[in-house]
């Protein structure tokens, strides 16, 4: 049976951007520790969405960079 695959969104355009990055990284580590496959998705301060290419490849061809 495949492990569940989840995305964790972090960052964003608000003043809480840095806090969200730290919280998101903690969530990624915790989920991976529980056996989940995790794709971290970072939203930059300018609103652009990004995820690592190697993880995007695991999503069946999803683009490595998503734009709003």
Given a cut of 90, whether residue 66 has pLDDT beyond it is no
Q: Tell me if 8 sits within 8 A of 28, measured CB to CB.
A: yes
pLDDT value at residue 52:
79
**What letter does residue 11 receive in the DSSP assignment?**
E
Q: CA distances (Å), 39 to each of 10, 15, 24, 33, in order?
A: 11, 24, 11, 14
Residue 3 has a pLDDT of 81
Q: What is the pLDDT of residue 62?
A: 44
pLDDT at 56 over 50: no
Mean pLDDT of 19-41: 95
Alpha-carbon 14 to chain mean position: 17
Q: Which single residue is written with the structure tokens 């930059």?
A: 44
How large is the average pLDDT for residues 13-32? 95
Higher pLDDT, 63 or 13: 13
């Amino acid at each position: 049976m495949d492990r569940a695959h989840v995305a964790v969104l972090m960052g964003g355009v608000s003043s809480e951007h840095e806090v969200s990055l730290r919280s998101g990284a903690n969530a990624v580590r915790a989920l991976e520790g529980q056996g989940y496959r995790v794709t971290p998705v970072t939203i930059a301060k300018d609103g652009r969405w990004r995820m690592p290419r190697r993880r995007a490849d695991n999503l069946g061809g999803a683009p490595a960079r998503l734009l709003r």
